Amino acid sequence: MITREDILNIALLAKLDVAEDELDNLTKEMSAVVAFADAVNEADIKTESFDNVNNLANVFRSDEVQPSLPNEEIIKNALDSDDGYFVVKKRA
Amino acid sequence: MNYELVSGFETHVELSTKTKIFCGCTTQFGGDPNTHCCPICIGLPGTLPKLNEQVVHYAIMAGLATNCEIANVAKMDRKNYCYPDLPKAYQISQFDMPLCKNGYVELSNGRKIRILRIHIEEDAGKLIHQQGNTYIDYNRGGVPLIEIVSEPDIRTVEEAKEYVEKLQLIMRYIGVSDCKMQEGSMRCDVNISVRPKGSEELGTRTEIKNMNSITFIAKAMEYEFERQVSVVESGGKVVQETLRYDEASDTTSSMRGKEDAHDYRYFREPDLVTINVLDSLIEEIRESLPELPFVKLQRYIDELGIPETDAQLLTKYRKIAEYFEDSIKGTQNPRTAANFILGQIFKRLENESAKEEFDIKTTADQLREMILLIESGKVKMNLAKSTLEKMLDTGKAFGELVSESDMAGLSDEALIELCKQAVSENPNAVADYKAGKEKALKSILGTVMKNSRGKADANMAEAKLKELLS
Ligand SMILES: [Zn+2]
């Protein structure tokens, strides 16, 4: 059961502002999402271990330097940048 | 009432790999902002991380060197938190299946500080807060770290200092990190609580974040201990919180409010596969580890007869220990090399990092050759000492600076000749000496030594001078 408090906590962790009048609707929507995912639990399966379903292990890189991207490319999508830095509003 | 300090450490150590943990970007310190970055380490959608094998090996080395069990199966997890130093809004770390666990570091008082676990994870970017804005540099983002988590076994500030120094020494020795605290490649979070002496219960703890100087760790712990004791003494309760230590005022203050209540919602990192560690790999790595500093220290004292304080200095820096060991091969008395290294050579290494780098011109082989000449009686200590200075200046071998005939030392006649010359060069000192000033002889002797270019034996020269002036 998803409660209004759950929504407030998720919003807090995700740094999202949620208005009071949005809460009921969000609670309903989130409940539907979780119910949808719960369908997985109904599946008829023989094992409970989903820890390594693809059965892969030890896919490694060797420690060799590859070229990085130029700074212009890196900050290309930044909403704001200055002197090569990403710039964001300081968080309280 | 008497109170006892109870403290545990979480120590982040940046690994000395060439590349980041999940991509091929360089881990070099510094560089222009956001120039050691690629789509993987700035977390662009659609990229896939791939684990650097060297990170796994280094973590296993660190684990073995701190007496840990190495896991045969480990995995990576996502630790979710939203802060601009993490471009993905999560850090890839290890939660319930770390690479190493259940180790310990033994202190000189015999107490063992247990190590709960060592896991691998990625470092975050660097933030600069300025005028309401935050400037972000992701060069450090994705640099591999190990986090060494101790049990709350530390009871005094002295133990805390020794614990951090020991970790630093071990990690440097095995070559997994340079542990430069001032550059942030080693940082500690310090948990502290207090309890009445004799009590077995743990009090409420606070955590001082991100300490990167042993001096300040000690000061912060002292302050926080006193603060908690006075809270308890006045009938209050210590509040569990994260603190920041302010160096200027030497106080701690609260860093995070309630809204940051830890809820990392760890789950298995779906983009990375399981890590399997075979016993054969663990054994292979165990074999490859160098002799650890404490083992070396004991061996120097017991087998080489080096005094403990000297042995401590020699084993504190791996390169110096290696140099020492190379320079005593085939020699009779290891203390001769130890004295040259801790005397004349140490004088040239001004600070910790110079000692760490140990960049000197004379090779261990060159020093050894000279010691063999001393031990065979061909070269007098005086000549060796003065020549070593020149060797250290120029990098030349002893044989290039001193000829066979120089080595032969002075004949009696030559020494008498030099003494006579010195007497005639120092009429004032001679007069003083004859008037009863014993000390005046020293300056005449100095002239003899100087003119002989260190070849004369000081005791013999002194005797000859006394004869001449009697
Ligand atoms: Zn990268």
The predicted-structure confidence for B363-402, as pLDDT tens digits, reads as follows 999 999 999 999 988 888 888 998 999 999 999 998 888 8
Q: Provide the shortest C-alpha distance from residue B91 to chain A (in Å).
A: 15
pLDDT in tens, B172-208: 999 999 999 988 899 999 999 999 999 999 999 999 9
Please report which confidence band the pLDDT of residue B259 belongs to, taking 50, 70 and 90 as the band edges. very low
Q: Which residues contact B22 (CB under 8 A, 6 or more apart)?
A: A61, B40, B41, B49, B50, B51, B52, B92, B122, B142
Q: Answer yes or no: do B389 and B425 share one domain.
A: no
Least CB–CB distance from B51: residue in A51, A61, A66 = A61
Residue B251 has pLDDT above 60, yes or no: yes
Q: In the prediction, which pLDDT does B246 show?
A: 84
Q: Do A58 and B34 lie within an 8 Å CB cutoff?
A: no
**Angle (nearest 5°) at CA B94 between B91 and B97:** 165
Give the C-alpha separation, A84 to B9, whole Å.
35
pLDDT in tens, B8-24: 999 999 999 999 999 99
Q: Answer yes or no: do B433 and B311 share one domain.
A: no
Distances (CA, A) of B139 to B30, B183, B229: 8, 14, 42
Q: Answer yes or no: do B103 and B236 share one domain.
A: yes
Last residue of one domain, picked from the residues B284, B299, B332:
B284
The per-residue pLDDT of chain B, averaged, comes to 92
Residues of chain B positioned with their CB less than 8 A from the CB of A16: none
Least CB–CB distance from A88: residue in B23, B37, B136 = B136
Contacts 24+ apart (CB under 8 A), B433-442: B433/B469, B434/B469, B441/B465, B441/B466, B441/B469
Instruction: Report which of residues B99 and B200 the model is more confident about.
Output: B99
Residue B59 has pLDDT above 80, yes or no: yes
Taking residue B395's Cβ as centre, other Cβ atoms within 10 Å add up to: 13
CB B206, CB B228: distance < 8 Å:
yes
Q: Note down pLDDT in tens along chain A; length 92 residues.
A: 889 999 998 888 888 889 999 999 999 999 999 998 888 878 887 776 766 777 789 999 999 999 999 999 999 999 999 999 999 998 75
CB B7, CB B221: distance < 8 Å:
yes
Q: Provide the shortest C-alpha distance from residue A83 to chain B (in Å).
A: 8
Give the C-alpha separation, B94 to B76, whole Å.
5
Give the residue on B whose Cα is nearest the Cα of A73.
B38
Domain that holds residue B178: 3-284
- Decide the pairing of beta strands A81-82 and B133-137: unpaired
Please report which confidence band the pLDDT of residue B258 belongs to, taking 50, 70 and 90 as the band edges. very low
Give the residue on A whose Cα is nearest the Cα of B16.
A63
Per DSSP, the three-state class of B468 is: helix
Residue B256 has pLDDT above 80, yes or no: no
Q: Do B35 and A60 lie within an 8 Å CB cutoff?
A: no
Q: In the prediction, which pLDDT does B364 show?
A: 95
Q: Provide the shortest C-alpha distance from residue B34 to chain A (in Å).
A: 6
Instruction: Label residue A12 exposed, middle or buried (CB < 10 Å: 0-12, 13-18, 19+).
Output: middle
How many residues does the structure list for chain A?
A: 92
Q: Do A74 and B138 lie within an 8 Å CB cutoff?
A: yes
Residues of chain B positioned with their CB less than 8 A from the CB of A90: 129, 132-134
- The residue written with tokens 């004991």 in the block is B298
Q: Answer yes or no: do B238 and B335 share one domain.
A: no
Q: Answer yes or no: do B363 and B454 share one domain.
A: no
Least CB–CB distance from B268: residue in A51, A65, A87 = A51
Residue B102 has pLDDT above 90, yes or no: yes
Last residue of one domain, picked from the residues B390, B407, B424:
B407
Residues of chain A positioned with their CB less than 8 A from the CB of B80: 13
CB B430, CB B448: distance < 8 Å:
no
End-to-end CA distance of chain B: 75
Last residue of one domain, picked from the residues B284, B306, B330:
B284
Give the C-alpha separation, A16 to A14, whole Å.
5
Q: Answer yes or no: do B19 and B39 share one domain.
A: yes
**Distance, CA B71 to ligand 1 centroid (Å)?**
28
Helix axes B53-65, B157-173, angle to 10 degrees: 130
Residues of chain B positioned with their CB less than 8 A from the CB of A53: none
Give the residue on A whose Cα is nearest the Cα of B32.
A84
Q: Do B275 and A88 lie within an 8 Å CB cutoff?
A: no
- The residue written with tokens 């002799």 in the block is B291
Q: Answer yes or no: do B256 and B338 share one domain.
A: no
Give the C-alpha separation, B37 to A49, whole Å.
36
**Angle (nearest 5°) at CA B112 between B106 and B115:** 95
Q: Answer yes or no: do B124 and B206 share one domain.
A: yes
Q: Near ion ligand 1, which residues have CB within 5 Å?
A: B 23, 25, 38, 40-41
**Angle (nearest 5°) at CA B420 between B419 and B421:** 90
Instruction: Report which of residues B255 and B332 the model is more confident about.
Output: B332
- Segment B109-130 shows an average pLDDT of 96
Q: Answer yes or no: do B169 and B275 share one domain.
A: yes
Q: Answer yes or no: do B443 and B369 share one domain.
A: no
Least CB–CB distance from A59: residue in B42, B50, B137 = B50
Residue % of chain B over a pLDDT of 70: 97
Distances (CA, A) of B314 to B87, B136, B152: 44, 42, 31
Q: Answer yes or no: do B12 and B144 share one domain.
A: yes
pLDDT in tens, B401-451: 887 767 766 777 888 888 888 899 989 889 999 888 888 888 898 888 888
B19 DSSP assignment:
B
Query: How many structural domains does chain B have?
Result: 3
Q: In the prediction, which pLDDT does A86 show?
A: 97
Interface of A with B in 47-76 (CB under 8 A): 51-52, 54, 56-71, 74-75
Q: In the prediction, which pLDDT does B262 show?
A: 64
Q: Do A59 and B273 lie within an 8 Å CB cutoff?
A: yes
Both structure tokens of B70: 């190495």
The whole model's pTM is what? 0.82
Helix axes B157-173, B214-233, angle to 10 degrees: 150
Q: Answer yes or no: do B82 and B166 share one domain.
A: yes
